[in-house]
Amino acid sequence: MADPELPSSVVTSSVEAKMNELLHRIKSVEIKLFSDATKEFVKLLKTDAGAELLRLYVETFPSLLELLEAWKLRQGKPGTSYVLSLISAILCHPEGRRYNDKFGVSRVLDKFARLIVDEKLEDVYKELSSKDGKRQNTALLLMGSVVRRGSGLASEVAKKFDFKLQGFSKLSEYKKRNQFDKKKHSTRKSFVGLAMSFLEMGKPGLLRWILQQRDMYYGVLRGIGNDDDETFMYILATLRDRVLTEESLVPPGLRSVLFGSVTLEQLVNISGRENSGVAAELAYNVLLMVSTDPSNGLMPDLDRKPNPLKGNPTRLLGVMKKLRATEVSYHKDLLLATFRGRPSLGAAYMNEFPYSVEDHASPTWFSSVTLAASLISSVAVGNPFGFLDAMSHDPPSIDSPDVQDILSCICPRPLSRSVVTKGLLHSDFLVKHGALRLLLEALKLMDSFIGSLNRFSRVRNQMMGKWVSLKQDVQNEVQTLLPDT
């Protein structure tokens, strides 16, 4: 570290002397001298003197020939990882990423990074295929540092890098060390860093292209359940801020591909972990965005004009059924948000209601029935009867899918007439209260639907008789499903 009381010329002279010493040792064929020198160089770059060291090096040796010679000397040998680590540290140093510097450091380093992309990728592939975790890690870190130099270099790497390289996607796998293999190096964090670097640097055109490298992103997302909180949050925050935004211009279908069933299930599990704090909250927030915003490819939006979004309701329903909504507040909030104003999803879920309501003596009965009541209430929020807007004259029939969805939300099959009747007549106050709340929400939803039918019948008074008939059919249907009590 430089002494602030020394004249700048003395400090510069000291740094220059140290730099020359290290460069001399880096050229050594002796592995010990070479490796110690590269490690010391990296360490110095992280100190207060690091910026001046980098400037001096680039000004004195603008071709960075010493690094290329050291790479060539060690190519294919364990020592390669030392020089790649040094190059990576140089390329990602803050001083070398300032594009208004008068010394031109950033321009030199950009040129060197392009040389790696144009001439050294085959050498990088050899490191990635080496089966040596340390060498693979340094190669991944090197490419990540190249990508992070800006969107231009990120695009060049995206075009030229062989993402189909044999064994590349396997580098995303989580490898747990054990007592018999202390030297085993996991490559997952470095792999994640490279994959996320494209998203961090990418402009809309690059994002759409790079996300089609599905094996790379499948590898990242399928492993999040085993990641530590720091890695997990890095992945999710990057996706949230760079992909799941209007500015990204990533189409719904491509966003949907990212969040497959395996990834969604892991997000559900993480959001439901006790004592996970910020990690659980982030998992919940991303699930909320993915599940409720049609732009993210899961939630249908058939009313969107001129291009309706079909979404993926099957996958979305699978997520809903995995939520532990009676136990985890995040899960309940997510389920309610997904239900809001969407009778078709509500009907699909309520007809397969995943909680037992037959045994009124069960300690979970009250929480299950209360949840059901809240879900019915949530369906009524927003514009659940929007399908009526499409009716020009004739109303829908009682057997139409839209009307049947409403009826399934009012009187779900698992919450049968006998279940509610027994609850209303039960001696336990909580059971009676739960059944009464369920009945109340069902009647409120029915009343809201009948009110909408009344409004539409008045607007379309030339077909008044058919609208009145539909209203009577709905009331008759509900009457057969709800208890007389």
> Measured between alpha carbons, how far is 16 from 163 in angstroms, rounded to an integer?
40
Q: Are 74 and 80 in contact (CB under 8 A)?
A: yes
Q: At what angle do helices 313-322 and 278-292 cross, to 10 degrees?
A: 150
- Vertex 444: Cα angle to 443 and 446 (nearest 5): 65
> Measured between alpha carbons, how far is 152 from 149 in angstroms, rounded to an integer?
8
pLDDT in tens, 166-175: 999 999 998 7
In this structure, the number of other CB atoms found within 10 A of the CB of residue 247 comes to 10
> Measured between alpha carbons, how far is 164 from 215 in angstroms, rounded to an integer?
8
Q: At what angle do helices 133-147 and 80-91 cross, to 10 degrees?
A: 20
301 DSSP β-pair partners = 309
141: three-class secondary structure by DSSP: helix
pLDDT band at 278 (very low <50, low <70, confident <90, very high): very high
289: three-class secondary structure by DSSP: helix
pLDDT in tens, 24-40: 999 888 999 999 999 99
pLDDT in tens, 429-474: 999 999 999 999 999 999 999 998 888 777 766 556 788 888 899 9
Locate tokens 């950033």: which residue? Answer: 106
Predicted local distance difference test score (pLDDT) of residue 8: 47
CA 472 to chain centre: 47
> Measured between alpha carbons, how far is 189 from 145 in angstroms, rounded to an integer?
14
Per-residue tokens: 272: 């439901």
CA 197 to chain centre: 15
Predicted local distance difference test score (pLDDT) of residue 43: 95
pLDDT in tens, 358-371: 899 999 999 999 99
pLDDT at 183 over 80: no
Per-residue tokens: 8: 């700048």
Instruction: Provide long-range contacts, Cβ within 8 A and 24+ apart, for 116-120.
Output: 116/87, 116/142, 116/146, 117/146, 117/153, 117/156, 117/157, 117/160, 118/160, 120/71
Q: Which helix (H) or strand (E) holds 78?
A: none
Q: Are 409 and 347 in contact (CB under 8 A)?
A: yes
Predicted local distance difference test score (pLDDT) of residue 140: 98
pTM reported for the whole predicted model: 0.89
Query: Between residues 253 and 103, which one has the greater pLDDT?
Result: 253
CA 216 to chain centre: 14
| Domain residue ranges in the chain | 1-173+185-201, 223-339, 342-485
> Measured between alpha carbons, how far is 172 from 193 in angstroms, rounded to an integer?
10
pLDDT at 9 over 50: no
Q: Does domain 1-173+185-201 have CATH number 1.25.10?
A: yes
Single-letter residue type at 477: E
pLDDT band at 484 (very low <50, low <70, confident <90, very high): low
309 DSSP β-pair partners = 301
Please say whether the dihedral angle defined by the alpha carbons of residues 219, 221, 225 and 228, taken in this order, is positive or negative. positive
Per-residue tokens: 452: 């909408």
> Measured between alpha carbons, how far is 107 from 94 in angstroms, rounded to an integer?
13
117: three-class secondary structure by DSSP: helix
pLDDT in tens, 462-479: 556 788 888 899 988 888
